[in-house]
Amino acid sequence: MSSMLGADVNVAQNVGFYIVAAIMVFGALRVVSGRNVVHAALWLVVVLGGVAAQYVLAAAEFVAISQVMVYIGAVMVLFLFGIMLTRATIGEESDLNNKNWSIGIPVSLLLAGTLVWVIVDQYRGEVLSSPDEPMSTTAISDVFLREGLVPFLALSFVLLAAAVGAIVLARKD
Amino acid sequence: MYAVNFLILAAVLFSTGVFGVIARRNAVMVLMSIELILNSVNLNLIAFAMMNNSPEGHVFALYVIAVAAAEVGVGLAMVLMIYRNRRSIALDELSVMRG
């Protein structure tokens, strides 16, 4: 065991990572394989919450809070509204998949294999040093308001355009 | 903590999302799979930020979160419009762009 873990590896962090990662992978598989749309949306909440937990483990507190507020708070409510407004049947649906959905299995397995191979080839043995304190919001806002100011303003216009566009598209006229 | 942990988890989530985009017929389910893909990219960005101990990765992740929120809003509005016009959101029946 000690040969597997470098001197810099935090055991508690690793155990937390693997537990959350297992829950996330299981939830993601349920999202793409379930027969019930509402259950898929609720499993997606599990995955997004797991991502937020991984952000906390990676010392990214601000991004974790943003993830919880934006995804679990806002995006999931939008999804549930979208399901409720478009669903014809209640409960399980049999035609959620395409006719030739099984072609997705080799494609995704090939993609996962290639990605894992490349990642392991490049980053094997590289240890992420655990920072003493989480990335401060001050440092993030310094980047946002200096180098990232123009993209930040552009992003606010993107959000404005998306809100106006969504209203125009979904409006009954 | 090893860098490959985060990166492999993100790769698995990404592949799962790609499978969902390919396999699903319901437009809302495809949007959910796209959320999986975007989250896996964010996980990678945070891992690289931790690797370099720099805030830029966090900033990119926040950009991605904001763009994903905009994408879901517009995407679900389009799905609602399609449902209102055609009474169905099965993607393989959408062969014409005309409403």
pLDDT, position A1: 41
A107: burial class by Cβ within 10 Å (0-12, 13-18, 19+)?
middle
Using CB atoms, which residue from A28, A112, A151 is nearest to B36?
Answer: A28
CA gap B47, B88 in Å, rounded: 40
B33 band by pLDDT with thresholds 50, 70 and 90: very high
Distance from CA of B95 to the nearest CA of A (A): 14
Using CB atoms, which residue from B8, B66, B72 is nearest to A78?
Answer: B72
Range of the domain at B30: 3-93
Put simply, the answer to whether B66 touches A105 (Cβ < 8 Å) is: no
pLDDT, position B8: 94
**Number of Cβ pairs < 8 A linking chain A and chain B:** 252
The percentage of chain B sitting over the pLDDT mark of 90, rounded to a whole number, equals 61
Total of domains in chain B: 1
Structure tokens at A166: 């969504």
B98 belongs to a structural domain: no
pLDDT, position A92: 66
Radius of gyration of chain A (CA): 21
pLDDT, position B25: 86
Q: Closest-CA residue in chain B for A93?
A: B26
pLDDT at A173 over 90: no
Using CB atoms, which residue from A86, A108, A167 is nearest to B28?
Answer: A86
Put simply, the answer to whether A148 touches B18 (Cβ < 8 Å) is: no
CA gap B69, B62 in Å, rounded: 11
Put simply, the answer to whether A54 touches B74 (Cβ < 8 Å) is: no
pLDDT at A137 over 60: yes
Question: What is the full DSSP assignment across A6-34?
Answer: -TT--HHHHHHHHHHHHHHHHHHHHHHH-
Structure tokens at A160: 């404005």
pLDDT, position A2: 43
pLDDT tens digits for A91-118? 667 677 888 888 999 999 999 999 999 9
B74 belongs to a structural domain: yes
Put simply, the answer to whether B50 touches A127 (Cβ < 8 Å) is: no
The percentage of chain A sitting over the pLDDT mark of 90, rounded to a whole number, equals 58
Question: Could you tell me where the DSSP H helices lie in chain B?
Answer: 3-23, 27-52, 56-86
- Would you say the ipTM is above 0.85? yes
Put simply, the answer to whether B76 touches A111 (Cβ < 8 Å) is: no
pLDDT tens digits for A45-94? 999 999 999 999 888 899 999 999 999 999 999 999 888 888 756 566 76
Q: Closest-CA residue in chain B for A13?
A: B1
B99 belongs to a structural domain: no
Residues of chain B in contact with residue A158, where contact means CB-CB under 8 angstroms, are 66-67, 70
pLDDT, position B52: 87
The CATH code of the domain that includes B27 is 1.10.287.3510
